[in-house]
Structure 1
Amino acid sequence: MKDHYNVLFLCTGNSARSIMAEAILNSKGGPQFTAYSAGSHPSGSVRPEAIAQLEAVHISTDGLRSKSWNEFTEPDSPTMDFVVTVCDNAAKEACPLFQIGGSTGGDAQAVTMIRAHWGVPDPPAVQGSPREIECAFREAYTILDRRIDLFLSLALNSLDRTALQKAVEQIGER
């Protein structure tokens, strides 16, 4: 039975959606989860609107930064149990080989990495007034927050790999 899971959220720019997902899961997941985020073509900075949205709901933004998914391909990088794309572009790209989570502490049942796509509209793509842009970031946050709550409600140690894969994929449809 596994007691800790690493989750990597991916998008293209790693400036908003994946950053918010990382922060939300790290805020809500407790010691059972560590969330990370990365991008296929990172922008190099986190959108201030994403930071403002997280701070508005009292989620820590300490340490959040835009980074390449290549940081998670090194031998000393954390092993990933779940990789979730949150933008359609990243979902279509060929992902690098990440360190894959497996058995820990002598557990004979290795857990292979679960991949899923939870598409979320891109708030930085919204053109409009500052209020409309703020609403787009709030909407993206709300979708991610709801999906992460669903993810946290899964009985991870009770589901076989096939059922777990299906359950995590279905979250992206909600």
Structure 2
Amino acid sequence: MKQYNILFLCTHNSARSILGEALASTHPSGKFVGFSAGSTPGTSVNPIARELALEMGLDPAKLKSKSWDVFGEAGAPKMDFIITVCDNAAGEVCPIWPGNPATAHWGFPDPSQVEGTDLEKKAAFVNVMNGLKKRIDILAAMPLDKLDSMSLKEIHTKA
């Protein structure tokens, strides 16, 4: 079975994009290899996002914030899909991606900005994780070899 590479983008690559990478990489369909990056990556992954990604079974070595520039370099994995998960990254000028991947914006509020108890903060991350999971489940059920940017964007309205 062919596996499809999905790059999740967010400004700091510390929470939402990390959750997208973990969900895609550990999806029960086995159809995806997830990656994540940011336009201005932070210095570390948010501790709650780290905890959730590890619970999903993501390799701890992949849990680091990185620039999206690394995926535009020669020798970088070719992406089939590129999905922005924060409104800031969606509005930025992205690099030219090799291979003309299908792109979409699946916006979610930044869970790391939630104030409150530890439980309330974790709940915000779980809400984002569940929203991403719904969209990745819909994506996995689609004819991936025929998918284009328009149909990838429609997943946002179905979830």
| TM-score (normalised: structure 1) | 0.83
2:155 maps to what in 1?
171
1:68 maps to what in 2?
67
* Displacement after TM superposition at 1:31 (Å): 5.0
Q: Letter of the aligned partner of 1:70 in structure 2?
A: D
Q: How far apart, in 2, do the equivalents of 1:44 and 1:128 lie?
A: 23
1:145 maps to what in 2?
133
Q: How far apart, in 2, do the equivalents of 1:138 and 1:154 lie?
A: 25
Q: How far apart, in 1, do the equivalents of 2:108 and 2:128 lie?
A: 6
Query: For the structure 1 residues 122 and 49, does the alpha-carbon distance in structure 2 shift closer, same or farther, using more than 3 Å as the test?
Result: same
1:22 maps to what in 2?
21
What CA RMSD, in Å, does the superposition of the two structures yield over aligned residues? 1.8
Q: Letter of the aligned partner of 2:41 in structure 1?
A: P
Structure 1 residues 92-107: aligned runs within 5 Å: 92-100=91-99
Are the aligned partners of 1:24 and 1:59 in contact in 2 as well (CA < 8 Å)? no
* Displacement after TM superposition at 1:141 (Å): 0.7
Q: How far apart, in 2, do the equivalents of 1:52 and 1:135 lie?
A: 13
More helix per residue: 1 or 2? 2
Q: Letter of the aligned partner of 1:60 in structure 2?
A: L
* Displacement after TM superposition at 1:172 (Å): 1.8
Stretches of structure 1 lacking an aligned partner (at least 5 in a row): 101-111
| TM-score (normalised: structure 2) | 0.90
Q: Letter of the aligned partner of 1:171 in structure 2?
A: I
Q: How far apart, in 1, do the equivalents of 2:42 and 2:74 lie?
A: 24
Are the aligned partners of 2:31 and 2:140 in contact in 1 as well (CA < 8 Å)? no
Stretches of structure 2 lacking an aligned partner (at least 5 in a row): none
* Displacement after TM superposition at 1:135 (Å): 0.8
Q: Structure 1 residue runs of 4+, over 3 Å off?
A: 29-32
- Residues paired across the two proteins, number: 157
Q: How far apart, in 2, do the equivalents of 1:99 and 1:55 lie?
A: 30
* Displacement after TM superposition at 1:81 (Å): 1.2
